[in-house]
Amino acid sequence: MVALLVAGAACHDEKTDRLRAIRAEVCACKTSACADAALKAVPKEQAPSNRRTQAVAREMLDCLAKLHDADRPADDP
């Protein structure tokens, strides 16, 4: 059991952790401008593409989409 925990800790990925931190910043924003600014912190080098990073990216973009939708003007006259 301890060996599994040690092996899991060894798989720690700094790029994924950085994406999680940026996701937290984006999702904490109250305006789309704030979220857009936070997205600029996404590293230009590619993070590993796996289910974890894809889930983080999806959550980040969901938060961004909600903020952009809130900024859109209402269609009602």
DSSP assigned state of 75: S
Coil vs helix vs strand at 72? coil
**Core vs surface per residue 33-55: b (16+ CB within 10 A) or e:** eebeebbeeeeeeebeeeeebee
Q: What is the pLDDT of residues 11-21, one digit of tens each?
A: 568 888 999 99
Is 6 part of any domain? no
Range of the domain at 21: 12-71
Q: What is the pLDDT of residues 30-76, one digit of tens each?
A: 999 999 999 999 888 877 889 999 999 999 999 999 999 988 777 75
What DSSP string describes 26-61?
Answer: HHH-SSHHHHHHHHTTS-SSPPP-SHHHHHHHHHHH
Is 61 part of any domain? yes
Is 39 part of any domain? yes
Are the C-beta atoms of residues 38 and 23 closer than 8 Å to each other?
A: no
Query: What pTM does this model have?
Result: 0.73
Q: In the chain, how many domains are there?
A: 1
Is 76 part of any domain? no
